[in-house]
């Protein structure tokens, strides 16, 4: 079965045909994760120990086009992952909700399955043997339970890459961390606790009336605390810095954090473009605020104009102090392997442009050899092609001059270091059909042999 999820909820499911091909219809204005889910086709019950993952993230689709074909996905071989949950004394915890997620470390997109532990504290589906089959990057965490004080809000959070049978035990041992944030208008401030890698595992909304916070955190677990200006949907432009690092701690006992003043912020505008200056829609931008060796992040995809914005607010984000910004191309686009990073100290309004593809543009420039024939000689047809490419601004004048010189000499040129000519494309556009849905088609084929790598 293939499924798409949005904000952790299943949108639609389908089954592939005998050739592995399938299609899904999803809302056109919503980003979704596409997942492979292993179930018994007759009973719809979970299958385990059959050699393929019980659930596997295929890709994350941001703002899907009207009709999209994402090509073929390969399902790697699954390995059994056994999980046990105990309390601080090492005794098993029954009926604890445990999530197992297949995820992409680059985008933090994920899909997951959860169940409650059995009497031995083990992760188990129904009458199946304990465990779950997984492959590639995996996250394990325990869902907080306000009625069970053995489970901290920030429970042990483990990540691993599954390439062979694994066994993991998470021991729950909570301690309390408390503090307060201060500002002229502290309303709609969200204080969060983050575990690696940049996963918010607990949060509390404070206000001018009650600006104290407290969390129960796993003893000896590294936790990063940060403050976000949050209006319930997006970070709100209220004059305060939108992301602010508070402190990193590893509590061994109950801990009180010193009061943290939240300063005013200045607007930082961010634009993502390619090497020709065209915007790169769907690119992901991660903004990290650094203070006292603590970093807290916020990630959003840019709009069709390549601009970073939060909801319906004006483009930009309110920041202050040391900031690191990283732009990455959306998965399965021509910029999927491109990354651009900038560091700056914000002490006034700033405008930043990040370029994807610029660093590799010189390495990918066409050479004289690409206009030569099979004997390495530039002839009249090659020279004519070079003139056409120069007129279309696909090559520099220096390349055209080199081609002209090679044509004049008639001598063979070096053909051992050619590169593909860049394809000039129109700026991406969004189609907006009246149906408000989009169809996405794929083909899946299984991998033969061992493979623990996630699909790209």
Answer whether 95's CB lies under 8 Å from 43's CB.
Answer: no
Residue-wise pLDDT for 334-371, tens only, equals: 887 889 999 999 999 999 999 998 544 444 556 788 88
b/e map 39-72, b = 16+ CB within 10 Å: beeeeeebbbeeebbbbbbbbbbbbbbeeeebee
> What digits encode the pLDDT tens for the residues 144-183?
888 888 898 888 788 899 999 999 999 999 999 999 999 8
Q: How confident is the model at residue 392 (pLDDT cuts 50, 70, 90)?
A: confident
57 and 77 Cβ atoms separated by less than 8 Å: no
Instruction: Express each pLDDT in 196-230 by its tens digit.
Output: 665 556 677 776 677 899 989 889 888 899 999 88
pTM score, whole prediction:
0.62
Instruction: Judge whether residue 436 has pLDDT over 60.
Output: no
Q: Phi/psi zone of residue 108: left (φ > 0), alpha (ψ -120 to 50 degrees), beta?
A: left
Helix/strand/coil for 34? strand
* 5 vs 283: CA distance, rounded Å: 20
d(CA 35, CA 58): 5
Q: How many CB atoms within 10 Å of residue 220? A: 11
What's the farthest any 2 CA atoms get from each other in the chain?
A: 84
pLDDT over 70 for what percent of the chain? 83
**When comparing pLDDT for 312 and 20, which is higher?**
20
pLDDT digit string, tens, across residues 116-147: 999 999 999 888 899 999 999 999 989 888 88
Is pLDDT above 80 for 283?
A: yes
> How, if at all, do strands 32-37 and 2-6 pair?
antiparallel
Q: Average pLDDT, stretch 371-386? A: 85
Write down the pLDDT at residue 207. Answer: 67
**Residue 255: CB partners within 8 Å, gap ≥ 6?**
175, 176, 177, 178, 249
Q: What is residue 444's predicted lDDT score, i.e. its pLDDT?
A: 33
Q: Please give the pLDDT value at position 264.
A: 93
Report the side by side order of strands in the sheet with 437-446: 21-27, 437-446, 67-75
Distance (Å, whole) CA 428 – CA 279: 9
C-alpha to C-alpha distance for 428 and 28, rounded to whole angstroms: 16
DSSP state of 45: P
Return mean pLDDT, the chain. 81
Alpha-carbon span 154 to 387, nearest angstrom = 63
pLDDT of residue 99: 93
pLDDT at 110 over 80: yes
Q: Rounded to an integer, what distance in angstroms lies between the CA atom of residue 157 and that of residue 103?
A: 14
Question: What mean pLDDT is predicted for residues 253-274?
Answer: 94
The answer, yes or no, to whether the previous bond of 197 is cis (omega within 30 of 0) is yes
């Amino acid at each position: 079965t293939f499924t798409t999820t949005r904000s952790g909820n299943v949108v639609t499911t389908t089954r592939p045909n005998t050739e592995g091909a399938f299609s899904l219809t999803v809302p056109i204005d919503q980003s979704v994760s596409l997942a492979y889910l292993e179930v018994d086709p007759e009973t719809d019950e979970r299958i385990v120990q059959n050699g393929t993952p019980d659930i596997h993230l295929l890709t994350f689709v941001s703002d899907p086009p009207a009709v999209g074909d994402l090509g073929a996905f390969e399902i790697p071989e699954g390995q059994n992952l056994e999980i046990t949950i105990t309390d601080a004394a090492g005794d098993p915890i029954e009926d604890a909700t445990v999530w197992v997620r297949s995820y992409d470390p680059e985008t933090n997109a994920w899909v997951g399955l959860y169940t409650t532990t059995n009497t031995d504290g083990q992760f188990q589906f129904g009458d199946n043997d304990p465990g779950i089959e997984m492959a590639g990057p995996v996250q394990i965490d325990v869902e907080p339970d306000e009625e069970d004080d053995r489970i901290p809000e920030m429970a042990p959070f483990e990540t691993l890459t599954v390439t062979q049978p694994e066994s993991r035990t998470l021991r729950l041992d909570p301690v309390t961390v408390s503090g307060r944030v201060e500002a002229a208008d502290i309303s709609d401030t969200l204080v969060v606790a983050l575990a690696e890698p940049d996963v918010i595992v607990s949060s509390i909304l404070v206000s001018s009336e009650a600006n104290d916070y407290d969390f129960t955190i796993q003893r000896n677990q590294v936790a990063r605390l940060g403050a976000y200006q949050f209006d319930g949907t997006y970070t709100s432009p209220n004059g305060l810095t939108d992301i602010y690092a508070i402190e990193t701690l590893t509590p061994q006992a109950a801990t009180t954090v010193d009061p943290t003043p939240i300063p005013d912020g200045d607007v930082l505008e961010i634009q993502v473009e390619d090497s020709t200056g065209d915007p790169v829609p769907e690119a992901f931008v991660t903004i990290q605020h650094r203070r006292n060796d603590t970093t807290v992040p916020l990630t959003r995809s840019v709009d069709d104009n390549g601009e970073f914005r939060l909801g319906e607010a004006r483009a930009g984000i309110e920041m202050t102090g040391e900031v690191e910004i990283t732009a990455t191309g959306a998965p399965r686009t021509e910029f999927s392997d491109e990354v651009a990073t900038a560091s700056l100290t914000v002490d006034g309004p700033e405008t930043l442009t990040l370029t994807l593809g610029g660093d590799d543009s010189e390495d990918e420039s066409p050479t004289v050899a690409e206009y030569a024939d099979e004997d390495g000689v530039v002839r009249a047809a090659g020279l004519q092609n070079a003139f056409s490419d120069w007129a279309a601004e696909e090559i520099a004048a220096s390349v055209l001059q080199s081609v002209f010189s090679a044509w004049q000499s008639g001598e063979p040129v070096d053909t051992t270091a050619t590169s593909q000519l860049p394809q000039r494309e129109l700026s991406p556009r969004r189609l907006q059909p009246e149906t408000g849905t989009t169809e996405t088609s794929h083909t899946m084929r299984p991998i033969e042999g061992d493979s623990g790598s996630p699909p790209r």
